[in-house]
Structures are given as C-alpha cells and as structure tokens.
Amino acid sequence: MINRDNSPIGSEAQKPFNVTEWREGFIITILRIGCLLGITLIGVSFSTATTSDRVLFISLYLGLLAITLLRVPYNVRAYAILLLVFAVGANSILAWGPWIDGSVFLLASVVISALLFDRRIDIIVFSINIVFMIVIAVLQTIGLYQLTAPTAPQTVPIDWVGYIFDFTVMGAVIVTAMGQFKSAFTRIIQETQNALGAVAIERTRLEEKVVERTEALENRMIQLRNSAITARSIAEKQNILELLETTTQLVSEKFGYYHSGLFILDDQKQTAFLQAASSAAGKALIGQAFSVETDRKNPLATAVEQNRAIITSDIDQKNFIADDNFPLTRSRMILPLAVRGNVIGLIDLHSDQPRAFNVEDAEILQLLADLTAISFDNVRLINETRSLISQLEANTTNQTQRTWSKLTSRVMPAYQYTPAGVRPIFTRDKRSDDKEGLHIPLVLYGQKIGAIKLKRKNNQTEWSEREKALVEKIADQVSLALENSRLVEEAQKSAARDQMIANISTRIRETLDIESVARTATLELRRVFDLKEAEILIGTPQVEKENGKS
C-alpha cells in the first residue's frame, strides 16, 4: 500500500534516526520555550532589577528572538543559546556571588552543551564555568572585584571553596551521566538502525518474492486460460486431421513454442508417425515414421514406456540429444497422449529458450494432452459409429428394396378413388403413367415403394406448396403404415409357422415307437401343406446296401 505522496506506508517508521535532525528540532523547542518564559521572567524582575540588568535582559531576549525567528545555521543557534544561558548565569555570579541561582544557569549550560554538541564541548563548557568561578573568587578575595548587587551577602573564601566544590561535583556527575547517556543512546540508535536495515532488507526480499510469485501466478493463469481456449477449440473438431492440426497450431501460438509436433503410435507401439506440425521444418516431416523402441537416449521411447512427460534442456548435456531437424531447439518436452492408461500418441514441444519447461508447465500441458487424446478417441469412435450407421442404413435400404421388390413382383395392390367409389387396381394401364395431377412418391428408408397420384376436379392443375408439404407428410405416414402392416403380416406368418412346428413336434413326441413317429410326421406334413403324397425314408442307401449283402 502507498500514501498519497506515492511513498510506501510505514516508510516513516523505517526511516533511519538522524541525530542532527533531532538536535535541530530540540533546539527549536528550547528556543520557543525560552521565548515564552523569558518575557515572563523579564516582566516579573523588571521592577526590582537595576538599569544594567534590564538592559542586559532585554538584549539577551532580543537575541533569543532573533535566533528563534531568523533562519540561521544550527551551530549559530547552538552557540548563541549557550552564550545566552552562560551570560545569565555569569551575571548572577557577578552580582550575587555564590548565593543566588547563577550556578543553576551554569549547570544548565553544561547540560545543553552535552545535548547539542559532542562530548568534548560539554567538558569545555564545564571547564570554562569552573575557571570563571575560580577567577571571580580569587579577584573578590584579593579585593580586585566587588559584587555589584548592593544587598549581596558578605562572601569569604571558604564560601567560594564550598560553592566551587559543589559545582564541580554536580558538573562532573552531569558530564559523566550525559556522556554515558549519549553513548547508550548512540548504541541504541545504531542497533535500531541495524534492526531497521535488516527489516528493510527482509522486506525487500519478501516484496521480491511476492512479485516473483505474483508473476508466476499470472503466468499460470495465462497458461490455464490458453489451455482452456485450446481445449475448447479442440473439442469442437469432428475431423481427426483438423483436430491434430488445430492442436499443434494452438499450442505453438498460445504457449510460444516455435515447433510442436503430434505423433500417433502404431498398434505395437514400436513406431510413431508424425501426423501434424506447426513449423515449416516439422510439416516437411509429416508422414515419416520414427522408432520408439526402448532406448534411454530416445526421449520418445522414454515417454511411451513411462507414460509421463519428459523434459530435456541443452544445459544438461548428459541427457539432451540435439535434433538435426530442429537446430534451434534448446529445450524440449514430450507429452504422452493416453486414453484409459493406453498411450496412443505423443506431443513433441520445442523451444529456443534454455529451461523453458518446468514441472508446473508439464502439469498444465499434460492436462491439455489428455484432453487432446480423449477428443481424438471420441472423434475416432464417432467416425466409426457413423460408418457403422451408414452401413446399417445401406443394409436396411437394400433389404427394404429387396423385400418390397419381391412383394410387388407377386402382386401390385393399388386403389383408386372415383366418383363411383374406391376400387382396387390390379393391372398397370396407361393411366398410371399419366403426368397430370400431383405425384408424390412413397419413400421408405430412402427407397421408393410406391406413389400417390392426385387430380383436382374441373381439371385444375395448381397445387400450393403448403398442400404439397401436407401430402408429403401423409405419404410418409402411409409408407410407415405399409411397412408396419408388412412387418405385422410377416410376424403373423412366422408365428403361424412356429405354431405349426410346435403342433407337429407335440404330436410326434406323443409316442416312442419309431413307426408311429414316422407315420404321424407323414400325416401331419401332408395335412399342413395339402400334399398329394408324403414319404419319410428312414436309413441311408449305404445302410440298405450293407443289409442286402448280409
């Protein structure tokens, strides 16, 4: 996520700590506080302060305002604020000696110098303060300097000694503590920056991994989408040659391989015939046979034997075998076309990029290969079914033609409606060949078995398309009804024959005597077929001849 300024969220938290920037912010804060408190202190002490103190305080305050409001360098501000604090403390020492709050301002200058500068600056300021107090103490003791405050208490050397000793102890403690604080603070800042740097590095790595995984997912989505498009196009094909050509072309176009070839195996799985290819060099090899006999150096044979994808690259010179027909190949993947565990063919993919194939690519493309194999098998089954249906239709047509030809050769039933009524026609006369009126054939299974002839009254010859369509539908129903009647008639005859055979068998089986069986069979055959005579001969001429010799 990003902010409005296009910077990543959390970048402020990870920004390295800068002591200089912190000091600049700190000194601005001190100056602003000093401006607020300074005007208050001037107002409170203005009535009791001397003229020189008033001038000093107002001058110092104006200087404080100047360095606060004006754009001046950091060092100028730092030294100016030290000078101001030292001036206030020194003025108090010069006026009152060790009895008022001058030491507080001098100690404050030491603390401020420790915060605003390096360690040597606070030591220098601390030393200057001690030297200043020693000089004032010595000058007052020898009588060269007198305190300016009229009401300042009497100060003896022991007072200065105690004061300077206390100030030295307090200052030394402050300098030491501030030194340790700055050392610890610097170490913590360094550790924090190192930790933030490590976090930034780890974050960069994670972002790179996220980008890498995102790109990988996008590539997988593109491959899946291309695979779905290819599978849909393949499934729409009903011709085997079109299916194979479409598969090779779409795989090359959608997945960016410069050559893809499709092989179909023979029944013994010893030879692979190239059936389709996407490249010009591959199309020149269509129809050629390639051996797939077991050989570790033959990737086609390995893919058939193990029924899995085989990936090779020119980086692995040990397993990669260059193909003279495709000199640009640097990566190659062979996918088996399997249906119900039976390998029926192979898809051979070539790329001019090293390591263009990986396991994920193999999984996606193997799904496409499986769909191709299923589509190929389905189209083959559909074609076989269509061929069988065509054969059945042809046999049905021929059978229908023979049956109705035989039926109409014995008798040609026809009926004619006249004003006198419906009458049968048993002979063909010239009127049957008359072209007048509407002639609609009776068609059954593609064979003409008769015709319908219609004439209008008053010699009208016009027939509308709707009327013709209606008559054609009636003719179709008549054809089916005639066929049904013929089938019923044949079924009845077959049933009668079966019943006759059953009756004869029943009567014959009523006795176990051979002469009675022969006699009964003879009588039944003569009766059923209305014969003049019937004879049943038991035995063969060879048997009779042997009996005569004996």
Residue owning tokens 């008639």? 489
Q: Angle, to 10 degrees, between the axis of helix 240-255 and the axis of helix 359-410? A: 160
Give the pLDDT means over successive 10-residue stretches in the chain (550 positions): 45 57 79 80 70 76 80 84 85 82 85 80 88 89 80 82 89 87 84 88 92 86 83 82 88 88 89 91 89 76 87 81 85 90 90 86 87 88 86 79 70 65 62 67 79 75 82 84 80 82 77 73 74 72 50
The CA distance from 113 to 89, in Å, is 15
CA 203 vs CA 3, 195, 196, 197, 316: distances in Å:
18, 12, 10, 10, 35
| Residue 444 bridge partners (DSSP) | 447
Going through 352-492 in order, the beta strands assigned E by DSSP cover: 414-418, 421-425, 438-444, 447-454
pLDDT at residue 48, as a whole number: 63
The CA distance from 487 to 478, in Å, is 14
pLDDT at residue 356, as a whole number: 85
The CA distance from 398 to 485, in Å, is 19
Give me the phi and psi of 336, to 5 degrees please.
-75, 145
pLDDT at residue 306, as a whole number: 87
The pLDDT tens digits for 360-418 are 888 888 888 888 888 888 888 888 888 888 888 778 777 777 777 776 666 556 766 66
The alpha carbon torsion through 91, 97, 100, 104 (nearest 10 deg) reads 60
| Assigned token pair, 486 | 């013929």
The CA distance from 345 to 262, in Å, is 7
Q: What angle do CA 176, 179, 184 make, to 5 degrees?
A: 125
Q: Which residues contact 28 (CB under 8 A, 6 or more apart)?
A: 68
| Residue 339 bridge partners (DSSP) | 342
Residue owning tokens 């960069």? 204
The DSSP secondary structure of 504-545, one letter per residue, reads: HHHHHTT---HHHHHHHHHHHHHHHHT-S------S-HHHHH
pLDDT at residue 6, as a whole number: 46
The CA distance from 51 to 41, in Å, is 16
pTM: 0.49
pLDDT at residue 262, as a whole number: 92
pLDDT at residue 96, as a whole number: 82
Q: Angle, to 10 degrees, between the axis of helix 119-141 and the axis of helix 157-235? A: 170
pLDDT at residue 8, as a whole number: 46
The whole-angstrom distance between residue 498's C-alpha and the CA centroid of its chain comes to 69
pLDDT at residue 38, as a whole number: 77
pLDDT at residue 340, as a whole number: 86
Q: Which residues contact 259 (CB under 8 A, 6 or more apart)?
A: 252, 277, 278, 279, 281, 282, 326, 329, 348, 349, 350
| Assigned token pair, 179 | 């030194």
pLDDT at residue 550, as a whole number: 42
Q: Which residues contact 395 (CB under 8 A, 6 or more apart)?
A: none
- The DSSP output letter for 264 is E
The domains located in the chain, with CATH, are 19-201 (no CATH), 247-384 (3.30.450.40), 411-504 (no CATH), 510-549 (no CATH)
The pLDDT tens digits for 408-461 are 666 556 766 666 666 676 665 544 556 677 888 888 777 777 788 887 776 667
Q: Which residues contact 148 (CB under 8 A, 6 or more apart)?
A: 50, 52, 94, 95
The CA distance from 315 to 330, in Å, is 8
pLDDT at residue 430, as a whole number: 45
Q: Three-class SS of residue 261?
A: strand
Cα torsion 465, 469, 474, 480: sign: positive
| Amino acid symbol at 485 | S
